[in-house]
Amino acid sequence: MRTIATPRTDRHARAAWRSTPRRWLALLLFLTALVPPAAPAQPALGPFKSERATFRVVQIAAGLEHPWSLAFLPDGRMLVTERPGRLRMIGRDGRLEAAAVEGVPRVAAVGQGGLLDVVLHPRFAENALVYLALSGVSEPDGSGTGTDIVRGQLVATPTGHRLQDVQTIFRTQPRSTRGFHFGGRLVFDRQGMLHLTLGDRGEMPRAQRMDDHAGSVIRLHDDGRVPADNPFVNTPGARPEKFTLGNRNIQGAAMHPLTGELWTHEHGPQGGDEINVIRSGRNYGWPVITFGVNYGLGTRIGEGTARPGMEQPLHVWTPSIAPSGMAFYSGVAFPGWKGNLLIGALRGRALHRLELNGEKVVREERLLADAIGRIRDVRAGPDGLVYLLTDERAGQLLRLEPAGGR
């Protein structure tokens, strides 16, 4: 039976029709205000010609404050650290999530310190664990800061993401009041061991002390326990977490895709930046031997450039390029770069491409000189492309893409 509205019902219907758009419009405007507008597409830079590739530089995200490190999530999203203390999520479409990831501990963003590296647990798809290297806040007794490792589970929230069940699994000891040489790179090896690189905190003798974490590479289980086969576990007075000693300030580290060994680079003083292969119990010489000299004076540091029982670097830069970030390239997008080592430069404001023959650098090419700024991190993405972070107040996440030609 057809229902015919009475005059009263019809008046209510007309009133509802008139008011509903207003309610929906108000709701729509409110929701729209919560969503940041998409950043306008930026034109690609380039093309740039490498000896073995032609590429362009595409901006993925902007407005990052001194970004330090990048990690790729399995679903194509990315995590980026900002040195002042924020962990940011970037979507697959390049959109920067408006709110920083919650739950990140407060950091001491002083000098070169702050929120540094970010890496995922090798079984992140199962446990959602994220690891951060950061300069922990000053101690109540005034003894200063140190580079610490924290981990937490990444979970979604109604407004974004947060880390839950956050734990500090390693604390550098002793602490320091100086604002230099925090190191801060994190790398998992094939056995699931976690490595942290540490600087000497600007106090040179600390790098040769066995009872001091500074100036070394630290090796841990994924929960912070000390591996039984660490080289100094049974050495009286030594810090059992130490894997090496004699390192000045390592800000680039990556596992070799064929050998599984950890390669690093570290800052020299005035000159003498180095590439090293990190091996258990080895002494890398600082400050007893170095290819650098005293700032402003040009005078020799230590005993010279070599001493028995101390490692020689694979490659040295003099003058310094201030290296930061490091990745082996094994993708297919740039076949001419296969097996190359890619290293960012802060002082040199460039990307260095190194061709290798085993553990020997046989050719070096300087790319993007002064084109994009200080390069803080370099990553080879799961898509076979190369990603860079620029260390600026308005830093960027950039991607290198093939642009045709050789």
Q: Say if residues 376 and 64 touch (Cβ distance below 8 Å).
A: no
| Catalytic center residues | 181
Closest CA to 115 of 134, 88, 87: 134
Phi first, then psi, for residue 49 (nearest 5°) are -105, 115
Residue 118 has which token pair? 């970010």
Q: Which residues pair with 159 in a beta bridge?
A: none
Among residues 103, 45, 12, the alpha carbon closest in space to that of 367 is found at 45
Within 8 A by CB and 6+ apart from 257, the residues are 328, 330
Place of tokens 């610490």: 148
- For residue 9, with 0-12 CB atoms within 10 Å meaning exposed, 13-18 middle and 19 or more buried, which class applies? exposed
Query: Alpha carbon of 208 to those of 65, 233, 237, 247, 263: distances in Å?
Result: 35, 17, 13, 8, 20
